[in-house]
Amino acid sequence: MTGTPTAVAIIPARGGSKRIPRKNIRLFRGRPMLAWSIEAALACGKFDTVMVSTDDPEIAEVARGLGAEVPFLRSSAAADDYATTSQVLLEVLDQYAQTGVHFDLACCLYPTAPFVLPEDLVEGCEQLLGSGFDVIMPVAAFSYPIWRSLQRDSDGRVDLNFPENLNARSQDLPVAYHDAGQWYWFRTNAFLRDRVLMGERTGSRVVSSIRVQDIDTEEDWALAELKHERMLG
């Protein structure tokens, strides 16, 4: 890659959210949820294009009003309940390619990621460019050791998933991490070849669990707003 790489932010925001209806444009602390992701992408200065991939005309209108581009609507095949993130990204890159537009880098930035700051995206891009990885993603440590996790049957009986750790001290167990569910910076040529985001050449950066929150239920939403207000005021 020579010169300054071109980059696109792809914010996948379909209209068919089931557990929290219309969550991508529902007001989160007074603003449409996806506004936080669009604002971070625009402010970081790393993208030639900030676009929203959606099948929903209302979401498209809101996204454009917030400064993002919506050059085309998502196909029905990439908008159903079984469509994967990779499918969405492949469709977006293919749609651009059909118009002669190609990007060296891309960042999939989820619309329900209000904790992402512009500097997170800058640092993720710089880490990708300075590494041999094809993808960089944020991860957070599990607050409780998964090696002491339990399974529970229909009667409520519990058993250790890893019985060999019954008497192990928590501090002696390895730290385990999970996907923060916020963004993925990736090299487009590698992604188009492998068609996966989490492969053999995926790197990571650790973020504080305070700045990570799945938002799939009303309880998640309330907790996210409390954490967000505490973090950003």
- pLDDT for the residue 223: 96
pTM above 0.85, yes or no: yes
Does the residue 2 lie in any domain?
no
Q: How confident is the model at residue 1 (pLDDT cuts 50, 70, 90)?
A: low
**Residue 2 banded pLDDT, cuts 50, 70, 90:** low
The residue-averaged pLDDT of 170-195 equals 96
90 within some domain: yes
Residue 192 lies in a domain: yes
Residue 121 to residue 8: CA distance in whole angstroms: 12
Mean pLDDT over 26-46 rounds to 98
> Which residue has tokens 């379909």?
14
Residue 16 has pLDDT above 90, yes or no: no
Identify whether the C-beta of residue 8 lies closer than 8 Å to the C-beta of residue 41. Answer: no
pLDDT digits (tens, 9 = 90+) for 128-168: 999 999 999 999 999 999 999 999 999 999 999 999 999 99
Residue 96: its pLDDT value, please? 98
Q: Which CATH number do you get for residue 78?
A: 3.90.550.10
Arithmetic mean of pLDDT, 191-206: 96
* 196 domain residue, yes or no: yes
Higher pLDDT, 19 or 56: 56
Per-residue pLDDT of 38-79, as tens digits, reads 999 999 999 999 999 999 999 999 999 999 999 999 999 999
Domain that holds residue 127: 7-232
Mean pLDDT for the stretch of residues 82-111: 97
Looking at the 3D structure of the chain, how many domains does it have? 1
Q: Cβ atoms within 10 A of the Cβ of 20, count?
A: 16
Contact 20, 216 (CB under 8 A): yes
Whether pLDDT at 118 is above 60: yes
In a domain, 1, yes or no: no
* 186 Rama sector, left if φ>0, alpha if ψ -120 to 50, beta otherwise: beta
